[in-house]
A and B are shown apart, each in its own frame.
Chain A
Amino acid sequence: MQQQPPTSPDVSSAAKSPLFQSSTQYRNWRFSVEQLKATRAALNQASVAAIRNTFESDSPGSSSDVHFLDANEEHLLVKLYIIKISQLCGHFRFPEEVEATGITYLKRFYLKNTVMDWHPKNVMLTALYLATKTTNHPISLESYTANIPRTNASDVLDLEFLVAQSLAFEFAVWHAHRALWGIWLDIQDLPQAPPHEELQRIHDTAMQHIRTSRLTDVELIYPPSQIALACLSLAHPEIAAFWARSKNADTALEAIESIKRTITRDGDTPSVDVVREIDRHLKICKNPEKVVGSKAYLAKRAREEKEAELKRKKKAENVRKATEQGNPFGEVLVGQANLDDDD
């Protein structure tokens, strides 16, 4: 038996890089401002081209007067539904974690999908329902839909897989409000800490800025700790500076200036009239393949059916062949026959 020298307990290399840096959020969901813009533009263009194609193949020339949404219009519509998530969460009294996660899911979803395929109304419901589960606050689907007017179970469940796929099944999200909580606990230990009531007020104001920040793209660009510090700085710049210095993180104070600017600039609620106009356009330019009962929808379904039929036939044929050929490997084929073939 070979022996090794005592390895120093392996808290080693991984301990050196912060936990956040191994998260899926750090690795897969951070973008530069330009990347975000380019991603959305490319997605919009590809979607418009595909939908235009569907229109044309249905009846040539029919897409010429259609006003397709551009990336900005899509973005504004999504923003409106971010606000709806907050309203729903208030109604259900969901914890902050659920609300923040649902909003993140909605934003991430529309980095992979277009509103012209999937209207944010249902995606919003699904994203929020999924968030209740991933943050460990599950409620039954029945009580969820019972409390939302004109919504049934399939509105939520039909898209659950698509949403989960779009998120690449990366459900864990690091939130700025958690980081703010940590900073707030730290501050109470600083010699410069103001009296408790004032500190509470500062925290509450900073929390408001965090909620505002959820309407913006900052969580797709900056780490949660910087967003939290920016929001604290918006609430009380001196305290934020004290804290940063106590952590020897003066450089962070420069970094958060652009976050503060973005929150102030983009944190407004979109005008209802503008969004209503977008939604009106959307009724016309949405992908007909996604409209249940439409000609294009039925055509697509028929195509899929045919493919599935072919696949099933092929599978059945394989099984038949294998049986006919006899069975050189005994049990192995028995095992194969047991494979449930529902996919």
Chain B
Amino acid sequence: MDAVEKANAERQRRWVKDQKVGEGTYAVVYRGRELATGRKIAIKKIKVGQFKDGLDMSAVREVKYLRELQHPNIIELLDVFSSKTNLNLVLEFLDTDLEMIIKDRSLVFLPADIKSWMAMTFRGLEFCHRNFILHRDLKPNNLLIASDGQLKIADFGLARDAADPGYKMTCQVITRWYRPPELLFGCRYYSTAVDIWSVGCIFAELMLRIPYLPGESDMDQLKTIFRALGTPTDEEWPGHTKLPDYVSVGQFPRTPLRDLFTAASGDTLNLLSKCIIFEPRKRISARDALYHPYFFALPYPTHPSKLPKTAAQTAAASRPPDEVDGNVDPGGGAPAGVGKAAPPKKLKRKLSGHDLSRNIARKLDFTAS
């Protein structure tokens, strides 16, 4: 009886939770493995019982889109199962994210490395947009990095289908530093261009190694943007003064990108400038970005496997693969193979803990705005 419940129990048995690696507002993340193969996985356990309206919208969105999207540059959802009142998403395990890589001061980025990360980001995003899906929360820490260097777009908790013309969408999306000016002005009809702005900010951050437009409040975010790019004129961005939450935050002169990005090539700055055009309709699309001369000019993008790695990644990669597989303890006790692997694991855990507190801080920041 209850074939559905039986199938669920069978699915659940395929995966083992090993260790808690992080906790967010609505989910707990565990590192785990596939019982049969020992393959590393991550399990995102979403607490459902606490919501009076049942399954939470973020969970619904994440599951809905990840079930449909299969692409090398989008995180893979391997399975979904439920346990009591929790929803468990089994995701491919990814070592680190772009934010950690950017913050690792020991790493040096070559222009070819940045080009490689940008190409992978645009590929993943182009696939989302081709499927009419807006991500609405792109930022370095949602761009995860696999052990082979592949970049994968993750966290679809704010994603949605592009609305039909004439239907409103909420403007309370995208983490502030990566939020485009039309959303800050309360625009309720927007497009895939909102994600492109975020990618532009990430592009700049890869070159600067610090966030490009770190506003302290929504109002300050607009000021920060205009200070960097000049206050838009009505000619540059027709109609923006009529947007619902439009406010004048002062006149700032336009300074050439070249002044800040002194080492960047002409192609680089051209693509960057097209991602952060004020008028959303003129912003470059993900598809056109992939055809931009930047990606065809020397230096060619670094092969993902040769991209800069954090210490934790390098240590993890230096372990022979069979050591990981062979030492798996099917009884589910303490993670085996601790001998050699302990230092990197500790490091990784410390990093994720650190990362976690930062996430929460930023999230609170975001809702308070």
Contacts and interface: CB of A to CB of B under 8 A. Distances in A.
Interface in B60-118: 60, 63-65, 67-68, 70-71, 80, 82-87, 110, 112-113
A10 B60 CA distance: 29
B112 A1 contact: yes
B364 interface: no
Nearest to B83: A343
B338 A9 contact: no
B4 A171 contact: no
B1 interface: yes
A279 interface: no
Contacts of B19: 332, 335-336, 339
Interface string A259-297: 000000000000000000000000000010100000000
Interface string B3-20: 111011000000001011
Interface stretch (B125-133, B213-221, B236-244, B271-279): B125-133
A3 B130 contact: no
Contact of B67 (A3, A47, A169): A169
Contacts of A11: 126, 130, 287, 290
A133 interface: yes
Interface stretch (A75-83, A160-168, A221-229): A160-168
Interface string A5-34: 111011100110001001110000000000
| Size band of the interface chain B makes with A | 35 or more
Interface in A182-216: none
A322 B19 CA distance: 15
A336 B123 contact: no
Nearest to B305: A2
A57 to B, nearest CB: 12
A209 B52 CA distance: 38
A43 B82 CA distance: 23
Contacts of B4: 112-113, 162, 165-166
A160 B302 contact: no
Contact of B161 (A47, A117, A136): A136
A58 to B, nearest CB: 14
B85 to A, nearest CB: 8
Given A171-B67, A333-B334, A19 B131 contact: yes
B229 interface: no
B282 interface: no
A65 interface: no
B54 A338 contact: no
Interface residues of A, number: 61
B53 A141 contact: yes
A5 B300 contact: yes
B300 A6 contact: yes
B306 A2 contact: yes
B57 A138 contact: yes
Interface stretch (B247-255, B291-299, B313-321): B291-299
A106 B222 CA distance: 47
A342 interface: yes
Contacts of A340: 20, 28
Contact of B54 (A6, A129, A336, A343): A129
A138 B55 CA distance: 11
A336 B342 CA distance: 15
B232 interface: no
A249 interface: no
Given A112-B3, A339-B17, A2 B60 contact: no
Contacts of A9: 119, 122-123, 126, 287, 290-291, 295
11 contacts: A1-B302, A9-B291, A133-B53, A133-B55, A134-B64, A169-B63, A171-B64, A172-B67, A172-B68, A332-B19, A338-B20
Interface of A: 1-7, 9-11, 14-15, 19, 22-24, 43, 46-47, 50, 54, 112-113, 117, 129-130, 133-134, 136, 138, 140-142, 153, 156-157, 160-162, 164-166, 168-172, 287, 289, 322, 329, 331-333, 335-336, 338-340, 342-343
